[in-house]
């Protein structure tokens, strides 16, 4: 694609490629595999967390397209494409929907440009942008050419904000993004927690940190603050497998098996 090989760092682990490994994908490298296996050694349900995070994305996207009638989506932290992808879920309901994917990893964007193709009635675009600098997202030409920011947008923050290094203000970053969206927009967010399995989650965070992939976990009350000023839709902020479950098997999981909160909220 438009990237040269030396722009893609395959010598160290990357959170998106580790996530791909947990999901059973093949777009990862030995450092990602080694780091992911170390996580699995201390957090055996890491694959369960990744899968249920993906399921939450699908359920929340369907709700936003079907019930809320949203036709514009901004997905930050795209990750390696894994079918069904966000635009596939949405455009199955609303083929005319427009989706902008953003990420700052060259290999993710290369895969996105190759595989994330839109339905003919709608549009997808891919922007290289860094969540640590929200303005780089909001001013990206790909976003401005695809989405109309005077109309409601669903901001999808699925398992991404907790990977922003702790020296950055997570609340300020999200606040800047939400402030740029009009009334009637929505936020869908998942964020890791140590509320249910504190020792295992701490050991997993230590493995990530040793692999130069910082991850921050928060208790529920701190995650709740990300939705300040927004109107949470039912069932509120809950462990992700308890958010509008559509499979009886989800009822067999414990909160410790998933260790992530998720919610969807409307901007009044």
Task: State the Cα torsion 259-89-77-184 to the nearest 10°.
Answer: -90
Per the structure, the count of domains in the chain is 1
Pick out the chain residues at pLDDT < 70: 1-10, 81, 108-119
What pLDDT is stored for residue 6 in this prediction? Answer: 46
What pLDDT is stored for residue 33 in this prediction? Answer: 93
What pLDDT is stored for residue 84 in this prediction? Answer: 84
**CATH code, domain with 232:** 3.40.50.150
Nearest to 79 by CA among 15, 12, 173: 15
- By residue range, what is the domain housing residue 237? 5-266
Q: What is the pLDDT of residues 32-59, one digit of tens each?
A: 999 999 999 999 999 999 999 999 999 9
Whether the predicted model's global pTM rises above the 0.75 cut: yes
Q: Cα 18–53–259 angle (5° rounding)?
A: 90
What pLDDT is stored for residue 19 in this prediction? Answer: 85
Q: Cα 24–264–99 angle (5° rounding)?
A: 65
């Amino acid at each position: 694609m438009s990237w040269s090989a030396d722009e893609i760092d395959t010598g160290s682990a990357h959170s998106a490629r580790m996530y791909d490994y947990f999901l059973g994908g093949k777009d990862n490298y030995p450092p990602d595999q080694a780091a992911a296996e170390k996580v699995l050694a201390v957090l055996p349900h890491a694959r369960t967390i990744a899968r249920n995070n993906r399921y939450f994305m699908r359920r929340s996207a369907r709700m936003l397209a079907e019930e809320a009638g949203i036709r514009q989506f901004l997905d930050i932290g795209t990750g390696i494409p894994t079918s069904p992808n966000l635009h596939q879920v949405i455009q199955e309901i609303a083929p005319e929907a427009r989706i902008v994917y953003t990420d700052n990893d060259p290999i993710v964007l290369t895969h996105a440009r190759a595989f994330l193709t839109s339905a003919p009635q709608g549009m997808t675009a891919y922007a290289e942008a860094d969540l640590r600098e929200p303005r780089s997202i909001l001013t990206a030409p790909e976003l401005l050419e695809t989405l109309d920011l005077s109309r409601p947008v669903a901001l999808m923050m699925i398992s991404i904000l907790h990977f922003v290094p702790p020296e950055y203000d997570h609340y300020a970053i999200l606040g800047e993004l939400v402030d740029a969206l009009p009334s009637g927009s929505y936020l869908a967010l998942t964020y890791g927690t140590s509320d249910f399995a504190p020792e295992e989650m701490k050991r997993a965070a230590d493995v990530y940190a040793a692999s130069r992939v910082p991850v921050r976990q928060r208790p529920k009350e701190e995650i709740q603050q990300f939705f300040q000023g927004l109107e949470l839709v039912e069932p509120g902020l809950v462990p992700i497998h308890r958010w509008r479950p559509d499979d009886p098997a989800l009822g067999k999981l414990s909160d410790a098996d998933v260790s992530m909160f998720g919610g969807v909220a409307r901007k009044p």
